[in-house]
A = this chain, B = another copy of it.
Amino acid sequence: MFSVTVRDHIMVAHSFRGDVFGPAQKLHGATFVVDATFKRPQLDDDNIVVDIGLASQELHAICGGLSYQNLDDDPDFTGINTSTEFLAKVIADRLADKAATGGLGAGAGGLTGIAVTLHESHIAWASYERDL
């Protein structure tokens, strides 16, 4: 299995609901360093997993749609705890949509999986991995 990963980041405010979140129930914020991994069992005709330029560009666009806002105000997340692991799934699913609709190039048809890791600090991170 081959994979290629590109890194970007978002800077957001949000708050959580539920005792389990302790002080994070208050409005606070986070930088999430975002690693998006694209997987496939065989390389394409150019000997690559994915057009890394397109992959970076689409990840950047998705990050741009999330960054510099209060996620509590994002209609996509009304009533939802935007935990690190949940946001990893949001980004992975949006990348999967891009792959399915040609945004990652013609060669991306061979992709079989996507994984996204969000680093919330030097001591905590979360991931979501799915098939394509």
Chain A residues near B (Cβ < 8 Å): 1-9, 11-14, 16, 18, 20-24, 26-33, 43, 46-49, 51-53, 56, 67-70, 80-86, 88-89, 105, 107, 120-130
Contacts and interface: CB of A to CB of B under 8 A. Distances in A.
Given A29-B14, A30-B31, A107-B20, A85 B120 contact: no
Nearest to A70: B27
A41 to B, nearest CB: 10
A88 B127 contact: no
B5 A27 contact: no
A122 B32 CA distance: 10
A128 to B, nearest CB: 5
A81 B47 CA distance: 6
A3 B120 contact: no
A27 B123 contact: no
Please give me the 8 A-B residue pairs with the lowest Cβ-Cβ distance, nearest first.
A29-B29, A13-B13, A13-B29, A47-B81, A23-B68, A7-B123, A31-B31, A28-B68
